Amino acid sequence: MKDFLPAGRPVLLLAPMQDVTDLPFMRVMERRGGPDVYVTEYFRVYATSRLDPYILRSVTENPTAKPVFAQLIGQDIPALLRTVAELEKHPVAGIDLNLGCPAPVVCRKDAGGGLLRNPEKVDRLLGALREAVQGRFTVKTRVGFDSPAEFDKLLDVFARHAIDSLAIHGRTVKERYQTPVHPAPIRRAVERLSCPVIANGNVVDVATAEALLDRTRAAGLMLGRGAIRNPWLFDQIRAATGGLHRAPRPCGRDLLGYIEDLWEETAREQRKTYRPDKQVQKMKRYLAYITQGLDPEFDRRILRAREADEFFAICREFLDHEAPVGALPPEESKRFCGFAELLA
């Protein structure tokens, strides 16, 4: 990962979000600046698994000319090693191991965040994967399963292996996405590890990005739901941290164009199975984040939309204007930037 660090500013990554960060989403993000590094949705790995051809297209048809890491989730070491060998036949920038997914169905299988309950198993996994991966090997984790107090033991494990980067979501697995993030464990990782540490969690605007960087001294940021809401956020952070001279200031029509672009790109992938009513339901997953901080009536009505014409009529009613949008209102940003009070 060190070779991807930009001079004079933090490296920016798009978080791997299942059923979101696919090839169409990458195309849409890149048209609006995009991150420096992409990470795929996770490949599920088990004894009889094979590479998911749809997720693999994010690597083989990469439309961005930027590095794409392939993320794996699983706990079967032989299956993980087989999958690594298969993936490294393709133009992956590196292999990333998911130790952070909080989904109960994943944790029950002792995969993703569930592995954090067993540091000894994590140790064995990292050792086997580091030996097998020929290129870059990175890890995405949380600060513990039940409590951030678990992180120091996990940090001992990470320090024993020559991983190329550690991305840390600053919540425990049990905290999922609802609580403030814990910056102190990320800061300890920065101070101890020789590899770049990437901070993740609650980056929803420039203010929260700068605050998390200031409190952790991380080499970069990983953006997830904040990037769904505001795809210009990568360039806005670059402008604030010295990578661009001018920050984009999107207006309502820009946001409307983004929604239309998402619709077109995701619909194009469905080919013969495309149905406008099903596409409306798919788009609501994005709009749940995009409408945050906008008119509450927009959010209420879009959730009730059933047909394509109705969906776009509502979007045009609230977004067909040139007034700036993008940044959360100060009270909303402060709510998301809730980690400040956790600092000693």
Cα torsion 97, 99, 105, 108: sign: positive
- Backbone Cα Rg of the chain: 20
Residues forming a β-bridge with 95: 70, 137
Residue 15's closest CA among 24, 6, 5, 25?
25
Choice among 101, 107, 195, 315 that is catalytic: 101
Kindly state the percentage of the chain with pLDDT values over 70.
94
Q: Check if 101 is active-site.
A: yes
The per-residue pLDDT for 341 is 41
Q: What is the pLDDT of residues 28-73, one digit of tens each?
A: 999 999 999 999 999 999 999 999 999 999 999 999 999 999 999 9
Q: What is the mean pLDDT of residues 106-133?
A: 97
Specify which of 157-171, 241-255, 274-288 reaches the highest per-range mean pLDDT. 157-171
Residue range 2-240, CATH number: 3.20.20.70
Q: What is the pLDDT of residues 247-258, one digit of tens each?
A: 999 999 999 999
Q: What is the pLDDT of residues 36-47, one digit of tens each?
A: 999 999 999 999
| Residue 275 main-chain phi, psi, to 5 deg | -135, 125
pLDDT band at residue 326 under the 50/70/90 scheme: low
Is the distance from CB of 141 to CB of 148 less than 8 angstroms?
A: no
Q: What is the mean pLDDT of residues 288-298?
A: 93
pLDDT band at residue 344 under the 50/70/90 scheme: very low
Q: What is the pLDDT of residues 177-233, one digit of tens each?
A: 888 999 999 999 999 999 999 999 999 999 999 999 999 999 999 999 999 999 999
pLDDT tops 60 at residue 330: no
pLDDT, mean over the chain: 93
The per-residue pLDDT for 332 is 53
| 121 CB burial (10 A radius; 0-12, 13-18, 19+) | middle
pLDDT band at residue 340 under the 50/70/90 scheme: very low
The residue extents of the domains of the chain are 2-240, 252-319
The per-residue pLDDT for 342 is 39
